[in-house]
Amino acid sequence: MRPVQGPANRLELVLRDAFRDPGHRPEFYRLLLDADLFVIGRTGREVPGEYVAGPGGEEICVAAWKRDGKTLVPVFTSLERLNEAAMGPTAFIQLNGRALLEVLDPKATILLNPGCSMGKEMPPEEIRSLLDGSLFGVPRTESLAPGTPFEVAPPKESPDALIGALRTLFAKHRDVQAAFLARIHVPGSHEPPHFLIGLLGDGDVRPVIAEANLVAKNLLAPGEPLDFIDIGADEASLGLVKKTTPFYTR
């Protein structure tokens, strides 16, 4: 195995940071689809060494193995990571991230940078949701009918991990001007009091809300409800501004 090296590109830098701060995870996923990735394998040419595959190119044969009934495919985020894991000269194929994920076995689990200093395991359902866009699906946004009673107040305990991750995320989006966090309770509803996140931004903030929801899911208990609101959209959003202070401002 070669000596460990630092991040070789932006994707690896964000991958490393995402382990420390979930606020970087949406950017990691987007970079993964656009980046050139490397797999151990060969093409119909059967020529050892580098081969850059493109749309409509030759059939490729990719290295994989079985473990506990699962197909595992090693994928590397740079040639440096492949060399770090390889024991010697290795034939490899270079392919755009989205194109590679689309041609791999849909039931396979990807081992990103196995045997390296930075990596990640991606099960089939995670890969599918990344490819079809549902990973970044816009969650429901809270909208109350005029006259609906509700209670908005600062949370009794500050969710520091969630706030920190969202600050990291919002700093990547210039159209987010401020963000608020509160507990909302709608008497008579079927849901208990839960977190409400409000965004004040320029233009459509739904793409940012989708990324914020992805970040929050990594930090909240499974099944814990969470609502988002576009500040200024209805009465509840104005109450959020009046009763809380923003945890993020640009």
* Cα gap 119→37, rounded to integer Å: 13
Predicted local distance difference test score (pLDDT) of residue 1 = 45
Query: Which residues, 6 or more positions from 61, have their beta carbon under 8 angstroms from its beta carbon?
Result: 41, 42, 43
Same domain for 155 and 81? no
Using the predicted structure, report yes or no on whether residue 43 has a pLDDT greater than 90: no
Q: Which domain holds residue 219?
A: 151-249
Check whether 142 has a pLDDT greater than 60: no
| Beta partners for residue 75, in sequence order | 39, 112
Are 237 and 180 contained in the same domain?
Answer: yes
Helix (H) or strand (E) holding 93: strand 92-96
Secondary structure letter of residue 201 according to DSSP: E
Using one digit for the tens of pLDDT, what is the confidence trace for 203-212? 888 899 999 9
Sign of CA dihedral 171, 175, 181, 184: negative
Q: Please check whether residue 47 lies inside any domain of the structure.
A: yes
Q: Is the pLDDT confidence value at 68 over 50?
A: yes
* Per-residue DSSP letter, 236: H
Q: Structural domain tally of the chain?
A: 2
Asked if residue 238 and residue 171 are part of one domain, the reply reads yes
Q: Which amino acid is at 23?
A: G
Query: Is residue 142, in this structure, part of any structural domain at all?
Result: no
Beta partners for residue 127, in sequence order: none
2 domain residue, yes or no: no
Token code pair at residue 240 = 């959020």
In the block, tokens 């990547």 appear at 172
Identify whether the C-beta of residue 169 lies closer than 8 Å to the C-beta of residue 210.
no
At 4, the amino acid letter reads V
Residues 96 and 179 reside in one and the same domain: no
Last residue of a domain, one of 135, 169, 188: 135
Same domain, 33 and 128: yes
Whether 197 is covered by a domain: the verdict is: yes
Query: Do residues 15 and 111 share a domain?
Result: yes
pTM for this prediction: 0.84
Q: Would 3 be classed as within a structural domain?
A: no
Same domain assignment for residues 156 and 194: yes
CA distance 148 to 103: 50
pLDDT in tens, 203-243: 888 899 999 999 998 898 887 888 888 887 666 676 677 77
**4: in domain:** no
50 and 116 belong to one structural domain: yes
* Both structure tokens of 217: 């899911």
Do residues 104 and 164 both lie within one domain?
no
